[in-house]
Copies of this chain bind each other. A is one copy, B any other.
Amino acid sequence: MNAEFAAAAGRVRAALEAQPMLQALGAVVEELAAGMCILSLDRRPQVLQQMGFFHGGAIAFLIDNATTGAAGTLLGASQGCLTAEYKLNLLVPAAGDRLVCRAEVVKAGRTQTVVEARVHSGDKLVAVALASIAIFDLQARPDVAERSPAA
């Protein structure tokens, strides 16, 4: 179990850190556990909107990645996952120096996993989200598998 999780977590981290967009925005994979993923994002020009708040798109980026990462920690080596859909509520303009997004699996399924996420700036809750992550066998999706950074 632990070895399985360690392998899955390694694949999730590798996939996230291989994203040119994650590198460009400067997001960091802070923590992975079974069914859980935490990402952080420091204040930088490339994640801000016109008033100096974190951009809603940067918050969505964290949610998209953290929810998929949380689902990914529960997968085997022959499986892959992609974000199918999510909904986010932006609760307040996101000021502050650093966002932390924590995603946790609500229900893991064979073909779909549902994940919720919360984004904080310091101790202030700035966004909540609910996501569906599509799960598939990599051999059934050659279009995706052949592009996998682990391949």
How far is A48 from B24 in the complex, measured between Cα atoms in Å?
10
Copy tally for this chain in the complex stands at: 4
Contact with B along A84-97 (1 / 0, CB 8 A): 11111111110000
Contacts of A93 in B (CB 8 A): 82, 143-144
Most buried by B among A49, A87, A91, A128: A49
Instruction: Please tell me which one of the listed residues B58, B62, B91, B132 contacts residue A89 in the complex, with CB atoms under 8 A apart.
Output: B132
How far is A83 from B90 in the complex, measured between Cα atoms in Å?
7
CB of A55 within 8 A of chain B? yes
CB of A70 within 8 A of chain B? no
Name the prevailing secondary structure of the A interface residues.
Answer: mixed
- In the complex with contacts A51-B147, A132-B85, A112-B112 CB distance below 8 A: yes
Contact B50 A130 (CB under 8 A): no
Contact A55 B61 (CB under 8 A): yes
Contacts of A55 in B (CB 8 A): 19, 21, 61, 64
Please report A residues at the B interface, Cβ cutoff 8 Å.
15-16, 18-21, 24-25, 45-53, 55-58, 60-62, 64-65, 82-93, 106-107, 109, 111-112, 114, 116, 125, 128-130, 132, 134, 136, 143-144, 147-149
Residue contacts A-B, CB under 8 angstroms, 5 given:
A51-B144, A89-B106, A92-B107, A107-B125, A111-B112
